[in-house]
Amino acid sequence: MAVHFIFDDTKTLRLKKRMIAEWIKNVASGYGKSIGEISYIFCSDNKILAINNEYLQHDYYTDIITFDYTEEQKIAGDIFISVDTVSSNAHIYTNTFSDEMARILIHGILHLCGIKDKTQQEEQNMRKAEDKALALLKEKILR
């Protein structure tokens, strides 16, 4: 198991990396999955827009893009997170930055576990899965 935290074109966040790794391991195991190589790449809005354009042909900003390299029951992937959009969304949803970041961190893992969010029903299921995972998180992820 390896969880990597990379900062590209954004400020470095002081994350509780071991706690996050243990948390995602526990969440994944709840879906019968183990953890392989997971890379969180924290970036700016401009960087995530470029990735969205290049790889998904989407011309809009987003908070997260997950590239899934899962094989069988071992989840793996690159998870790009726009720190700018997470910050904006925290304000929009009257959430703390730390709580919004936690939701986004686990959102990518849930995608790797096979949970989708394309339809309205899938989106509701994703929110329930996020809430369940967040309930496992006892403390803040940022120092």
Condensed to tens digits (0 to 9), the pLDDT of residues 98-143 reads: 999 999 999 999 999 999 999 999 999 999 999 999 998 876 676 6
Model-wide pTM > 0.75: yes
Total domain count for the chain? Answer: 1
User: Domain span at residue 132?
Assistant: 2-136
Alpha-carbon dihedral sign for residues 109, 110, 114, 120? negative
Helices in 12-119 by DSSP H: which ranges? 17-29, 45-56, 83-92, 97-112
Q: What is the CATH number of the domain that holds 84?
A: 3.40.390.30
**CB of 80 within 8 A of CB of 41?**
yes
* Domain assignment present for 142: no
